[in-house]
């Protein structure tokens, strides 16, 4: 459901910024359809057009022509991996990047920025964390990661680190007695660790309650690219389905 929340962030941003018409561009498979649905949870303006491209599409000239002529206020897109690299580069080359803002989910992040580079600068995304998050544990993590791998960590690295720290906290709480599964489960639910993302706890349905942010791609003084927090969109946000969980009743 986190993916749904990331798309929802961007729908709320589009709504709050008064974007009256938005073009939706996603791949034609379930994740693409889910992303479009997530965006529309909070966006109540006009969807000028929804384009569902074949999975693996690398040439977006047809869609870019439509976007350019559609007189929209923004583009919402979910184009992960190589699709996102191609779209971002072509969007910039078409002269659209400085005219029509891009609200993207899993399209411009630390996994694709090394290939997108300058073409992605200024494009927005939604996330529960960014490398420039201002807390001591995150600053230490980012510095150590960059020293070890000579690259900027992304959300996937953050989540992997948090998961390891969560498991570590549970192992310590049960003093290494992993045979007591109920005790381990209870310790995991307490989430007594220091998350890189700051505030964090589990909801009644086992899904995190956390903050979500609007991010923007920037080029650092050292020449590397990263996403940076623009504003907090949701505070201590739990998914909207938690109330339907049996544990909540």
68-116 pLDDT tens trace: 999 999 999 999 999 999 999 999 999 999 999 999 999 999 999 999 9
Residue 162 · residue 210 · CB < 8 Å: no
pLDDT average, residue stretch 152-164: 97
Q: Quick one: tokens of 214?
A: 């609007």
Q: Given this model, what pLDDT does residue 166 score?
A: 98
User: pLDDT band for position 238 (50/70/90)?
Assistant: confident
pLDDT at 1 over 60: no
Q: Could you read off the pLDDT of 201-219 as tens digits, one per residue?
A: 999 888 899 999 999 999 9
Q: Given this model, what pLDDT does residue 248 score?
A: 61
Separation in Å, CA 243 to CA 39, 80, 174, 193: 21, 31, 30, 25
- The mean pLDDT value of the chain amounts to 95
Taking the C-alpha atoms of residue 39 and residue 125, their distance in angstroms, rounded to an integer, is 12
pLDDT at 196 over 90: yes
pLDDT at 182 over 70: yes
Separation in Å, CA 91 to CA 67, 139, 148, 235, 244: 10, 33, 33, 32, 41
pLDDT at 62 over 70: yes
CA angle at 216 for the pair 215 and 218, rounded to the nearest 5°? 135
Taking the C-alpha atoms of residue 59 and residue 232, their distance in angstroms, rounded to an integer, is 34
Question: Which residues, in sequence order, are bridge partners of residue 215?
Answer: 125, 229
Q: How many residues does the chain have?
A: 249
Half-sphere exposure of 97 (CA within 13 A, CB side): 17
Per cent of the chain over pLDDT 70 is 98
User: pLDDT band for position 3 (50/70/90)?
Assistant: low
């Amino acid at each position: 459901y986190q993916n749904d929340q990331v798309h929802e962030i961007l729908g709320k941003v589009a709504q709050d910024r008064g974007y009256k018409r938005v073009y939706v561009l996603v791949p034609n498979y379930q994740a693409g359809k889910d992303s479009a649905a997530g965006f529309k949870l909070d966006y109540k303006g006009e969807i000028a057009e929804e384009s569902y491209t074949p999975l693996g599409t690398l040439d977006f000239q047809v869609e870019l022509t439509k976007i350019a002529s559609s007189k929209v206020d923004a583009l919402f897109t979910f184009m992960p991996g190589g699709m996102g690299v191609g779209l971002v580069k072509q969007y910039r080359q078409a002269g659209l990047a400085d005219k029509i803002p891009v609200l993207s989910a899993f399209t411009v992040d630390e996994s694709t920025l090394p290939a997108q580079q300058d073409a992605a600068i200024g494009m927005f995304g939604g996330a529960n964390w960014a490398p420039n998050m201002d807390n001591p544990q995150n600053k230490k993590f980012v510095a150590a990661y960059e020293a070890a791998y000579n690259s900027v960590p992304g959300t996937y690295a953050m989540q992997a680190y948090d998961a390891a720290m969560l498991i570590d906290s549970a192992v310590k709480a049960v003093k290494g007695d992993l045979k007591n599964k109920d005790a381990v489960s209870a310790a995991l639910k307490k989430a007594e660790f220091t998350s890189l993302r700051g505030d964090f706890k589990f909801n009644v349905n086992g899904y995190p309650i956390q903050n979500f942010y609007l991010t923007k791609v920037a080029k650092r003084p050292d020449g590397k690219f990263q996403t940076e927090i623009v504003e907090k969109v949701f505070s201590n946000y739990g998914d909207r389905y938690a109330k339907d969980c049996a544990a909540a009743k």
